[in-house]
Amino acid sequence: AQTVTQSQPEMSVQEAETVTLSCTYDTSENNYYLFWYKQPPSRQMILVIRQEAYKQQNATENRFSVNFQKAAKSFSLKISDSQLGDTAMYFCAFMGTQGGSEKLVFGKGTKLTVNP
Amino acid sequence: NAGVMQNPRHLVRRRGQEARLRCSPMKGHSHVYWYRQLPEEGLKFMVYLQKENIIDESGMPKERFSAEFPKEGPSILRIQQVVRGDSAAYFCASSLSGPVNTGELFFGEGSRLTVL
């Protein structure tokens, strides 16, 4: 079974600075998707960024980028120029492509606080 | 261009009562997923449905829980004889297509169930 581990329960960063959130996963599959979701206090799950495992290039979405290390099964999220609105829980998630089901496996999350 | 709609947003039930949570997927989406989030935890997969079919219910408790996605109308997650441990946020997500896909799920805002 796949597992996702987020080793940082809480992190904080000053506004305008850069922060990196860690995520590791375990799978025997070769083809899969990885995601970072943001959950603000409103509790809605918002997709931040996703990565296909077969793509070597790291995904980037504006201030958000990932460092995908397939061999190490690591998928960290870097937030540049942090803004107060980035304060939220961040969940790393894995989706396999075998077995016919698109179920996401989530980590336990990292609570990020951006300080003014 | 409505997203995934869930209702009710908040539901309070006494032990032994039934809870019904509804989810209308995004327009054009025929794949629906239910996830449960306990306090301080990530989301856990419960069930994956397509119109009139349950594809994967491996994450759903065998007793008291059921889900459906009829040909017409929203998907329903039903919890019979609720207990305090059922208190959680229940999220619905939808996607456009199955496993050969974009690998992206769109989430609703969740339904928070409180069992007294």
Chain-chain contact of A50 with B107 (C-beta, under 8 angstroms): no
Length, in residues, of chain B: 116
Tell me if the bond preceding B8 is cis, omega within 30° of 0: yes
Does the beta carbon of A111 lie under 8 angstroms from any beta carbon of chain B? no
| Residue B52: per-residue pLDDT | 87
Residue the block writes with tokens 């980028």: A65
Contact indicator for A109, A6 with CB cutoff of 8 Å: yes
Rounded Cα distance, B15 and B116, in Å: 6
Q: pLDDT (tens digit, 9 = 90+) per residue, A86-115?
A: 999 999 999 888 766 678 899 999 999 999
How far A87 CA sits from the closest chain B CA (Å)?
A: 16
Rounded Cα distance, A61 and A59, in Å: 7
10-residue mean pLDDT series, chain B (116 residues)? 88 98 93 91 92 91 95 95 96 78 80 96
Residue the block writes with tokens 């958000």: A64
Q: pLDDT (tens digit, 9 = 90+) per residue, B60-92?
A: 999 999 999 998 899 999 999 999 999 999 999
Q: pLDDT (tens digit, 9 = 90+) per residue, A44-62?
A: 889 999 999 988 899 999 9
SS3 A75: strand
Rounded Cα distance, A83 and A101, in Å: 36
